[in-house]
Amino acid sequence: MKLRKIVFCFLTASIFYSCTTTKVEQTNKQEKVEQTVEKKFEKQAKKEEKKVEKKKEEPKDPPNIAFAKKLQLYLDKNQIKEAIELFQSLPKELEKDIDFKILLASLYISDKQFDQAIDVANNILQLAPENIDAYELISLALEGKGDKQAQKENADKILAIDPYNATINIQKAEDYAINKKYKLSRQSYKKALKNEPKNVDALFGYAQMSFYTDDLKEAEKSLNTILQIDPKNSLALAYMGKLAADSENFLRATKYVKEAIKYDPTNYDNYLDLGTYYRFQGKYDEAAEAWNKAVEIDPSYFLAYAYLAGSYDEQNKFDLALQNYHKVIETNPKYFYAYESTAILEYHLGNWADSRKYFAEAYKYNNSVSYQLMIAATYFKEKNAFKAKEVLKPLLKTLNKESLDYAMARFYHDTYSFNAENSLVGKITKEQNRTQRGKMLFYMGLYYELNGFSEKAIEYYSKVKSMNAPLFFEYRIAEWGLQ
């Protein structure tokens, strides 16, 4: 601004003087004016340059700040190995800096160099024998190595110094939870919360264990604390949905899990829950949509297929149910209930060979007499009594001759005997176990059906249905036998 005023003053003087002097004088004056203005410009420009130079000359960072800035450049790019290598140029005055050693050990753990991390942490303990951070780093490294015994010993050292250490108590709680020791897990989470009452991991773990031990009020209280800290916490929202579902408030449960999905749209379990809540509301199409979304997220996991199969089975959409049961078997061959369910549906559809195959697979996982009797039944359906007896003969050798199971298998195997029939009916009538009695009533009805006594078959199937307790798979086949 000052420079402009100087220029203006000189230009005004020049114009005024030109009216009272000769052209030569005017020219000379003009040259002087221009020279003077030019000098003023140069002088001012130099002043401005000096100001800029002064601004550029900032004080140097101390060594710790300078090193931290270099380190941050690698961390921003997630270049862990390069960040570790940078420590080779750590200034001498920082070589015993515990904070930087903790950071180096953490980087080693991130890079899965667990032994190096332990070495650095032990070095910290030489400088500061009760440094909790160092012990916690050792614990994480040992966990990464899978050395459970050393991890437990290290945890005991930490708890001797700090009984309510959040990190270690959370680790102990997780171990208890894996072993289904939910009460002990809950106690450990509670200890962690004494030191860190707003630790979200501890709060969630405590809520989860409270849910498992039926302390729903404590679970809700802990979840609400999480949502006060982090309203978008998807795990807390999902578990609020579970609490609502436990109270059979499925509409509220649906709202919670939808909110959880908004913040975590690729969580498989949330879609399983959403489908379940829809199913309990009778919204089968929406349920199927949710479970199919879970399948999209992880097509290699069996549970969404199992839910879809069960839902389609419930709606008598047997072809779709079978498709999904087959996917369950494909993704989890050891899930024997899928073999049983598939065998039942194949039997209902008259696919005797397929039914037999899946009952045989189920028998490998559970040596139930029922499966062998049903295999025999499929051969009888094919009018192949010889093959049926081939199945039953070795079965008889495995059974207690005084048992009802033996009597039923023998009745199927042997030529019909009126006395054997009466004896068997009497045993069934006296059976005290309700489920066993229901199963045996079914197999009497099935025997009559296979041998063309339809009225007797209906009589026994009706007795099974009147129990109104489908705790055994044969109940469904008895229902179909009455249709």
Question: Which tens digit of pLDDT belongs to each residue from 141-183?
Answer: 998 999 989 988 888 888 888 899 998 999 899 999 999 999 9
Phi-psi bin for 256: left (phi > 0), alpha (psi -120 to 50), beta? Answer: alpha
- Amino acid, single-letter form, for residue 377: A
As given in the structure block, the two tokens for residue 24 are: 């030569």
Cα(287)–Cα(281) distance, integer angstroms = 9
pLDDT of residue 32: 39
What is the reported pLDDT for 173?
94
Through-space distance between the first and last CA atoms of the chain, rounded to whole angstroms: 102
Dihedral angle of Cα 453, 459, 462, 464, to the nearest 10 degrees: -80
Q: What is the pLDDT of residue 74?
A: 87
pLDDT of residue 49: 52
- pLDDT score recorded for residue 70: 86
> Would you say 102 and 134 are in contact if contact means Cβ atoms under 8 Å apart?
yes
Q: Per residue of the chain (483 residues), what is the pLDDT tens digit? A: 332 333 233 223 332 333 333 333 333 434 433 443 344 334 444 544 554 454 455 577 888 888 888 888 988 888 999 989 999 888 888 888 999 999 999 999 999 999 999 999 999 999 999 898 999 899 899 989 999 899 888 888 888 888 999 989 998 999 999 999 999 999 999 999 999 999 999 999 999 999 999 999 999 999 999 999 999 999 999 999 999 999 999 999 999 999 999 999 999 999 999 999 999 999 999 999 999 999 999 999 999 999 999 999 999 999 999 999 999 999 999 998 999 999 999 999 999 999 999 999 999 999 999 999 999 999 999 999 999 999 999 999 999 999 999 999 999 999 899 999 999 999 999 999 999 999 999 999 999 999 999 999 999 999 999 998 778 999 999 999 998
**In Å, how far are 73, 86, 305 from 111, measured between CA atoms?**
17, 14, 37
Residues 155, 168 contacting (CB under 8 angstroms): yes
Report the C-alpha gap between 375 and 356 in whole angstroms. Answer: 5
Question: DSSP code of 130?
Answer: T
Structure confidence at residue 387 (pLDDT): 96
Going by C-alpha positions, the residue among 191, 201, 144, 126 that lies closest to residue 134 is 126
Helix axes 216-229, 200-212, angle to 10 degrees: 160
Compute the mean pLDDT over every residue in the chain, rounded to the nearest whole number.
87
Rounded-to-integer distance, Cα 352 and Cα 442, Å: 19
- Phi and psi at 470, nearest 5°, equal -75, 65
Domain ranges in the chain are 2-42
Q: How far apart are CA 247 and CA 212, in angstroms?
A: 14
Q: How far apart are CA 276 and CA 291, in angstroms?
A: 9
Query: How many Å apart are CA 404 and CA 426, to the nearest integer?
Result: 10
